Structure 1
């Protein structure tokens, strides 16, 4: 059925963390006869067919991984073993480049998403586009040790540059000052609640506020801004319409569950509603800002809902069983979790208690006990 097998490419995944990367080997072979049925485990595919599936994603289509695309970048038929240690955005796949940042463990990087116009066709004349540019940066949050590399990237991009920040945390905005220094005309897009918390040292000039629902044009690519509160009260998401890829900021992460910021308007009710909103969008790919992309969005989002609801039920049970302080609740609810994670877990516990209280599900106890649940 097949001729001689030949190595096409060896692709080394970038350091998304916290788990070991996924290496992919692509081989190529001529077909000497009609391929036999391979059930559901694998499928023969032409290069043209793979490109079409990646560049023109439709509901119900066959799904293939991002590294199939990486195999066709540059010299397609090269038999040399090459490595692709970064995942720079291409026309037919939006993804993120992991950049070293001051993020919380177990992660060490923040995914910088770069979208660049692939043709001169731009919908700037369309009145329904909120903003247009030749390139878009999302969450330039790399730490100072790699600011030189970020500067090189910004200098290589077109001057008509848009920058979108999903929220204000330092591991998402620490590189903003570099962007502004290299391109003073760059336009910053973010929610007003986020901008209030971004220091002048990060961005010293004006910005353009977004609230959700805005359409952005980058060449022939369209993106829709989505208001996605929960992690913070100014958190935003972004849908890449051409590929139906959803950039989710810190609403989801590539490993474990997300931590909500109770000091910046984090809210469990909002978090649930945003998750349902993402499910309604029915994206083909989820792009978190920490960890690798997810090719099974509904599975991941439903898993997040299941996990949060289970935690909330466990928290309520611990309160009904006599827990009176935040430590009591965390120690009982997260008894099977490494104690090093109890402090960040306590942020979510506080918000779960708020959510239970707003639904009037907390047991009727003395006022002093209720206060302990909130201030411990």
Structure 2
């Protein structure tokens, strides 16, 4: 099959992009052909269809002038440019099915009308809560929020859900009404893929009535090799890796580190970058937490080396995580996870088996779990082995491929 893969970023930016690229890779390994449609960006990976990509736009900075602001608004609501460029690409590269990932804002769902017109089956992997929440996260004022349930998007404006900005929140609310009420544009998707049971159930509970199929993310275990005896847990360290953002619960991790009260020295490495990095560093300094390190953004083998050395990876999230790739990567490296009991995390982190869980936002309970890891090396060794076996048996590439092909064939069968 010729498969059109669509995502607004064509470089390694986060978990969504990992799934986007790895899905294309596993399909290609089974003889299928991948065609890409995305947005132009200086960090993009090499791609033969790059000339058809959407022009680059940075929506996180203020546009210069009223005209540019209006263009950005039009692009978010309904992009004629995206339809035109995708049409040109499809004229040159015919496809059998389209697999969408994150298309909002930089591309826009306007492309669904082109795919429908050409009778191209469409599936879409859900990476967040954008189908029911204008701000993706289902959070308002630092807390989990579900007031948009049933399409009550005016609440977005009242709560200034999008970056605390009234203007951006108004635009986000308008976007939701245009896409879901006026066009019902996502009715052009034949099947939605939910990597976690939690996300599937939450969307249904919020009033999203489209077809959703559960298919967890996968990890290509061959990339990580075998876990050698004595290779892991060689130092008393804990690692968080990912985006440094408010919803990730990193202030709770800093507080828990201060509460440890243990004679054993433990290093906490908060690896990554993001909008609150400077504030986190200041918080750790003011708390006198000299055992917290901020190495910055690390990737590839250098990151895996840090993870392998640690006793456990910590994921203290305070938003409804979906099916985090950071957990799968830790497990593939033979490292257990101390994860918050929120969203899809408990579907992966099984208490006492593949890791430990704690109440999201509860620094005291997180400190207890960290102490347990420090005081029970035998149990940690057991969880390391279980974590690796879990992804090998349940979240491997071949199992994902078979599930995905079944979804593709079902969608194609409609046409």
Output the TM-score relative to the length of structure 2. Answer: 0.26
Higher strand proportion (structure 1 or 2): 1
Whose RCO is larger (CA < 8 A, sep 6+)?
2
Higher helix proportion (structure 1 or 2): 2
Output the TM-score relative to the length of structure 1. Answer: 0.28
